Amino acid sequence: MKDFKIYYEIDASTEDVWNAFTNPVAIALWTGYQPVFSLEPGSEFELWEGDICGQILSVNPGKELVQKWYFGDQEEDSIVTIKIHPDKSESCKVEVRHSNIPDDDYDDIVEGWKEYYLGAIADFVEE
């Protein structure tokens, strides 16, 4: 099992970035797929037609989202914590901590976070 952490600067307001992470309409726009997503703790979610799925653990609106991601029959929980920090002027920094990533999935998950998740959100909100 491996852990991953990244700080990613996005030239947009914290409100716009939070919306991109949590609003099903916005998620559909930047992913190209209809998500199953609710901010209710304990609810299940699916992104990219089930390529990423899990459970919402906790929500601090506009600031922090904690999820459990499912990796098959993995015994240890894979926890994702997304924090949005206001930065200078109209930008913000997104902090992502992802724990207990299976070794075989690590490289794909890191690439996914950088390119398909954070990169796609940045492209969506910075336009």
pLDDT tens digits, residue range 16-74? Answer: 999 999 999 999 999 999 999 999 999 999 999 999 999 999 999 999 999 999 987 77
The average confidence (pLDDT) of the chain is 94
How large a percentage of the chain has pLDDT more than 70? 99
Task: Find the range with the poorest average confidence among 8-17, 26-35, 86-95, 116-125.
Answer: 86-95
Q: Give me the pLDDT at residue 11, please.
A: 93
Burial class (CB in 10 A: 0-12, 13-18, 19+), 69: buried
Residue with tokens 């930065």: 87
DSSP string, 8-44: EEESS-HHHHHHHHH-HHHHHHHHSS--B---STT-E
* Element of type H or E holding 76: none
- pLDDT category, 89, cuts 50, 70, 90? confident
Dihedral in degrees, nearest 10, Cα atoms 97, 98, 100, 104: -130
> What is the CA angle 57-18-32, rounded to 5?
95
Q: Give me the pLDDT at residue 58, please.
A: 98
Q: Give me the pLDDT at residue 46, please.
A: 96
pLDDT digits (tens, 9 = 90+) for 96-112: 999 999 999 999 999 99
Nearest CA-CA partner of 80 in 61, 62, 60, 56:
56
Q: In this structure, how many other beta carbons lie within 10 angstroms of the beta carbon of residue 126?
A: 12
Domains of the chain, CATH where assigned: 2-118 (3.30.530.20)
